[in-house]
Chain A
Amino acid sequence: MILDQLVWPLALVLAALVLGPYLLAVLDGLVARGLGLTRGPGLWLAPLRRGAWWLIQHTNVTEAPDGRAWRLAPALYLALAAGGLALVPWSRAWVATDIATSLVLWGSIEALATVVIFLQGWSANTHLTLVGAYRYVALGLSYILVSMFVLIGVALPAESLALTQVIISQQELWNVLRQPLGLPLFLIVGLAITFRGPFNLADSTDLAGGTSADVSGAQRLVWEFARSAMLVAFSGIATAAFLGGWLGPWLPGPLWVAFKMLAVLALLAWLGPAFARLTPEHCVSLMWVVLLPLAFVDLIWAGVEALS
């Protein structure tokens, strides 16, 4: 009883929280090798080496930062990622946070992530970090809107806001086929909220690292780790909402979830560096003029499909 409700789900969440970002870093290394950025052996060790270097480097101080908020922001982002992972159902019984409104809770994690990212950039009290924070806030709202419409779409056929019900509703047909627009939109939002690849406007190269431009050492390690963990949480939610979660033949449910998450992560790691960074103006238009109407279409599609 306790084993099923508490121990196994928590163990899986912790494992995903630790292994997920590591595997994502390895996948990133693989992609970088494909692009000719790195060479030689040590693909599996490279993330650990980078982490060890960050641990040795001291954390720096800027002039008159908001100390508490600055030190806390990476940890808060990691906590949000962990909260997101806790919502992922590993099997019908193994869910760490099994509440009736897990989709809404995920939405609030996305909303609070905006606050935390702003905090990270603002509290350092330096100019380039602040510009990164402004940029993210200006765009964050549209990310949340797109993701929420898409997720309401998967809640419709399930007639529930709980992710477990969403998975059960996919027994006949996975949502990725039933609502073909949903998963692509959700994954784009995933890249945007963890600011990777073309959507990396908050931590971008033109700001010399954006919100983390003045962060070093262990603090930077936590921040980068949390960013990866957030993407892992995203892949977990995408798995549950669109790829049928634990559903699948032969293998036990949690393994299916892990495989699907890895596949999503690999896709995102490959997509990330494939495109040039958007200008903020392009990004705003893309979100409000293209993706948001597409999300409406997806929602109407889901509604019509649920009625018939």
Chain B
Amino acid sequence: MNPPLAVDIAFILLALFAVYTGWRVFRTDSMVRASFFLLLSFIAVGAIMLLLSAMYLGAAMFFMMGVEMMVMALFMVMFMMNPAGLNPMMMVHQHRLAIGAGIASFVIVAAMALLARFPHRPLPADLQEVESLGNELLGESMLIFESAAVVLLATMIGVVVLSSQRGRYGNAGEGSMPPGLDPGGEPAGMPEKDDEDDGGHHHCH
């Protein structure tokens, strides 16, 4: 089965796009942009899944990642403490090691892809892929599917407990202390110590 040329071209473009946007995630100034670049990468991979005729998974990928990256972007804005997440950032540690590890893992996995011999067993022409997935989920693999659901429920409860304001030991914010700007330095940005006031922060309408 030779896929038509158009599919090949689409695949190459989508693959390049997925890698480029995946790379931009760690190279952009704004966190919101970073998470939306990641979303674009996911969308490209989802489209490739559609090309691979995984109709349900491709569409579900758009769906899941749309919501997930939106939440991600919002958390980025909230935690990075800067107006709407529009500050530049290049906050990295162990940079060389990370680059090395990234390249090494790429080389290893790529070598596996190139050197290993996988059987060539394409999709049968009459495969109803959505139907077969549904039968699998609610048939033989019911247990896996259901346990995933239970784990998700447990996660939800755990997450609410972890992040709620009043935990088992009283108010979670009690005695909290911001870190210093440099390791071991004075706590930064505490409201009452805000003496480095600026000229004026007016933005008029």
Contacts and interface: CB of A to CB of B under 8 A. Distances in A.
B59 A130 contact: no
A64 B56 contact: no
Given A100-B55, A101-B55, A161-B56, A112 B84 contact: no
A144 interface: yes
B18 interface: no
A125 B84 CA distance: 7
B67 interface: yes
Nearest to A99: B55
Contacts of B74: 118, 134, 137
A104 B67 contact: no
B21 interface: no
Contacts of B73: 118
Interface in B23-65: 30, 32-33, 36, 39, 55-56, 59-60, 62-64
A114 B70 contact: yes
Contact of B86 (A64, A118, A137, A161): A64
B86 A108 contact: no
Contacts of B84: 122, 125, 130
Nearest to A114: B70
A101 B86 contact: no
Interface in B133-160: none
A206 interface: no
A205 to B, nearest CB: 15
A128 B203 CA distance: 12
A122 B69 CA distance: 15
A50 to B, nearest CB: 25
Given A64-B86, A127-B203, A137-B70, A111 B63 contact: yes
Nearest to A121: B84
Contacts of A118: 70, 73-74
Given A115-B66, A137-B70, A104 B56 contact: yes
A108 B63 CA distance: 4
A66 interface: yes
Nearest to A133: B84
Interface in B66-90: 66-67, 69-70, 73-74, 84, 86
A115 B63 contact: no
A101 B62 contact: no
Contact of B32 (A100, A122, A141, A161): A122
Contacts of B56: 100-101, 104, 161
A301 to B, nearest CB: 20
B55 A141 contact: no
Interface string A120-150: 0010010110100010010011001000000
Nearest to A118: B70
A119 interface: yes
B70 A140 contact: yes
Contacts of B101: none
Contacts of A161: 56, 130
Contacts of B64: 111
25 contacts: A66-B86, A69-B36, A100-B56, A100-B128, A100-B129, A100-B130, A101-B55, A104-B56, A104-B63, A105-B59, A105-B62, A107-B59, A108-B60, A108-B63, A111-B63, A112-B62, A114-B67, A115-B36, A115-B66, A115-B69, A118-B70, A122-B84, A125-B86, A137-B70, A141-B67
Given A111-B62, A115-B66, 7 more contacts: A105-B59, A107-B59, A108-B63, A111-B64, A112-B66, A114-B70, A118-B73
